[in-house]
Amino acid sequence: MVYFEDLEVGADYMGPECLVDEKEMLEYNRRNDPWPIHVDEAAALQSPFGGVIASGGNTPDAQWAFLGGFDWGVKFPAPVRAGDALRYRLTVLSKKSSSKPGRGVATIRSQLTNQRGEVVLEVEAVILMATRPGDL
């Protein structure tokens, strides 16, 4: 679990590489985001993407002591496809303790890149995080 005090301003945190499994991707897409570009090969071939792509929600994530978000900016600069090898990078832009105990506010930038180094997801957010239990 990542808590507020674990974050260091300016630090980059890298996640392990994660391979996008076609079967898992399609199951997720069918359940959560069944647009033709995510579930129908024939329709997706006619799209600007030229084939089925992953839903934006089908991305790796870590266990965070996340309490809420104040501001979110989300970009999907390139599509994710089955077989892509994705890697997560989080940069802490700023942080400050809350006036209320047990929490703090951080501004972060998260990027997910594929095996070609292309950014496929970028999120810049101001988030509310819990402090480590017992550190109130």
Check if the beta carbon of residue 95 is closer than 8 Å to that of residue 4.
yes
The model's pTM = 0.78
* Average pLDDT of span 14-28: 91
50 in the Ramachandran plot: left (φ > 0), alpha (ψ -120 to 50) or beta? left
Residues 68-115 pLDDT 10s: 888 899 999 999 999 999 999 999 999 999 999 999 999 999 999 999
Helix (H) or strand (E) holding 74: strand 66-75
Cβ-Cβ contacts under 8 Å for 99 (sequence gap 6 or more)? none
Pairing of the two strands 66-75 and 85-97: unpaired
- CA dist 93 and 126 (Å) reads 10
Q: Where are the domains of the chain?
A: 1-20+64-136, 21-57
Question: What is the third-level CATH fold of 1-20+64-136?
Answer: Thiol Ester Dehydrase; Chain A (3.10.129)
Let me know the angle formed at the C-alpha of 52 by 48 and 54, rounded to the nearest 5 degrees. Answer: 105
